[in-house]
Amino acid sequence: MGRPPCCDKTGMKKGPWTPEEDIALVAYIQQYGAGNWRAVPANTGLSRCSKSCRLRWTNYLRPGIKRGNFAENEEKMIIHLQALLGNRWAAIASYLPQRTDNDIKNYWNTHLRKKLKKLQTGLDGNMNDGLSGFQQISKGQWEKRLQTDIHMARQALCDALSLEKPNNIPLSDSKASTGVYPNTTRSTQSSSTYAWSTENVSRLLEGWMKTDPKRPPQTNSQAKNPCATKMLSPEALESLLTFDSSTSDTSQSVSFEETMNYGSDAALFHAESKPSLGGPVPLMMLERWLFDEAVAQGQDELMDIPLDENNELV
DNA sequence: AAGTTCGACAACCGCGAGTCC
DNA sequence: AGGACTCGCGGTTGTCGAACT
């Protein structure tokens, strides 16, 4: 007997999600929390596979995620982490707040891989060190890095458990609470309108997380998924349907520091999808470690990849 | 202007790990 | 102990607009 399908595929809708579907999903998760995905299609009336619902939530609707507009430091982090961890996108994403593994994976495949290939070609023309040398990390160095990685993960977990709040990093400004994240993707595509709607759903969720002073008792799933503590109000639903993208600042960019300083609720959401490290990782420490490692190996070329104002290789 | 190719991203698929009974 | 089930991850494909011919 083969493995049964995760859900009955017959009659299941595929392809891009509509705003109505998103709203239905968000409303359900607001009420019952994320989890038990198998029950989601039945309870929401969505003709979507449970896996599709989970993916949609974790990658796009979940509050606290940022999309597109990778900062220079984020780019460098991804490059280093990819060299260190390989294509373990979930692990890489755990070091980058607000970024999903899918987003990082796509960014790597569409941007960074090409850049590095280009760079590597250029370096190979000169000598056999640089990037190629960076990738030829000895076994001992890999083990050392792995040990450090584990140590840091453990440290982060201890920190997270010892703190009253999951994240003691204060909000640097009102961006997170107001949800004014930079518009990032598909600005030129027809689906950009809907991309805005998706972001708005996420924004609204963030807003509720921060403004609702009282939280009902948590169920088991809610304990794992803080988002379950809010209900979708009619006003919110209305705003979802009438969202005007012109109200958002598309030109605004978020610095790496701002990226680090996401709010506590966002951190909760973030931890939801990235539980492996027990919460936000001390990124500055990690970054410093990565930088130091590269420098120690005399392979800091990567850190000095010339980038123009658009974070493009020059 | 129409057709083709390319690029970017959303979404799907299959598999493995973990959990529950 | 082991089968059923759920979830998460990584690779891959599909879709659509932009750029090019």
- Please report whether residue A170 resides in a domain: no
Establish whether the CB of A115 is closer than 7 Å to any nucleic acid atom in strand B: no
The domain tally of chain A equals 2
Determine the average pLDDT of the residues in A7-20.
Answer: 73
Question: Distance (Å) from CA A1 to C1' C3?
Answer: 11
pLDDT above 90 as % of chain A: 0
Question: Distance (Å) from CA A257 to C1' C3?
Answer: 49
- Please report whether residue A3 resides in a domain: no
- Please report whether residue A271 resides in a domain: no
Same domain, A116 and A55: no
Q: Is A200 exposed, middle or buried (0-12, 13-18, 19+ CB in 10 A)?
A: buried
Same domain, A82 and A45: no
Predicted confidence at residue A284, as pLDDT, reads: 52
Predicted confidence at residue A252, as pLDDT, reads: 38
Residue type, A41: P
Establish whether the CB of A62 is closer than 7 Å to any nucleic acid atom in strand C: no
- Please report whether residue A95 resides in a domain: yes
Protein chain A, residues 204-263, with a C-beta closer than 7 Å to any atom of nucleic acid strand C: none
Question: Distance (Å) from CA A146 to C1' B3?
Answer: 52
Establish whether the CB of A58 is closer than 7 Å to any nucleic acid atom in strand B: no
Instruction: Give residue A108's domain range.
Output: 72-165+280-304
Q: How is residue A92 written in tokens?
A: 């890489």
Same domain, A111 and A161: yes
What pLDDT band is residue A110 in, cutting at 50, 70 and 90?
confident
Q: What are phi and psi of A177, to 5 degrees?
A: -70, -35
- Please report whether residue A46 resides in a domain: yes
Q: What is the pLDDT of residues A40-61, one digit of tens each?
A: 888 888 888 888 888 888 888 8
Query: Given a cut of 60, is residue A300 above it in pLDDT?
Result: no
What pLDDT band is residue A198 in, cutting at 50, 70 and 90?
low
Same domain, A48 and A93: no
Query: Given a cut of 50, is residue A268 above it in pLDDT?
Result: no
